[in-house]
Amino acid sequence: MLHAVVSDIHGNLEALEAVLADLERHRPASVVCLGDFVGYGASPNECIERLRPRLEAAVVGNHDLAACGKLRLGGFNHEAAMAARWTDTSLTAENREWLERLPFSAPWRGALLVHSSPLHPEEWNYVLSPADAEAEMASCEESLVLVGHSHYPGTFELDGGRARYSRTPDVRMAPGRRYLVNAGSVGQPRDGDPRAGYLLFDDRTRELRHLRVEYDVEGAMRRIREASLPAFLAERLRWGE
């Protein structure tokens, strides 16, 4: 069956709506989210309420906890901290409670879902190199680990404990090999491509596909400005950085 994996929506309703519309073409059996529903963008409640009913599983992201006052902002840059404080004052009580109850990691259909990394998910480490992937995958047994956090889509393939990295959009999982896959970001891509990103996973054929979707970037930028959030958070959407 085909499944959709989304991550790092970051309060960007325009990007989320475009991804959900694209999912209508593929009709996945389920949708999961790898965290950071909020932060940076100006539509935190709308994104949670639009996506939550569609989800089979989800994990919490660092910006989700920061927006709930459950994570210190010392490690955030100035703009991210401002957005977290703004989101803290904007979240409904119901949405705040829901975010706070999300787990750091979750087993799902034989895979492991986690926002940052499987070894210490609460430390919000990034998996950016083959060496990182090798160390992280040594901490779990699953053949597939799905992550977000870096906003940079790609696949680490491990063969005998050694990892190699690929940005190839279509991946067929080979028998006996293990995979750590970053699903990219719906609401704030950082790989130079401003289009919203998400992942499709077929658990029957063991195929993965990274997809990109055009969305109303100007509309998302306008919402950020109207909320008096830092202008940089709007401008970076235009460039996918």
Alpha carbon distance 104, 160 (integer Å):
27
The secondary element (H helix, E strand) that includes residue 147 is: strand 144-147
pLDDT at 3: 98
171-222, pLDDT tens digit by residue? 999 999 999 999 999 999 999 999 999 999 999 999 999 999 999 999 999 9
Provide the β-strand partners of residue 33.
6, 58
pLDDT at 241: 86
Instruction: Give the Cα-Cα-Cα angle 192, 153, 80 (nearest 5 degrees).
Output: 65
pLDDT at 222: 98
The ranges of the chain with pLDDT < 70 are none
Total number of domains constituting the chain: 1
Nearest to 201 by CA among 104, 14, 56: 56
Q: Which ranges of 56-200 would DSSP assign to H, the alpha helix?
A: 62-67, 78-90, 93-100, 130-137
Sequence-distant (≥ 6) Cβ neighbours of residue 175 within 8 angstroms: none
Q: Which residue type sits at 87?
A: T
pLDDT at 138: 94
pLDDT at 161: 85
For position 26, which CATH number holds? 3.60.21.10
Alpha carbon distance 102, 100 (integer Å):
6
| Sign of the dihedral defined by the CA atoms of residues 168, 136, 121, 56, in that order | positive
Print the domain residue range for 204: 2-239
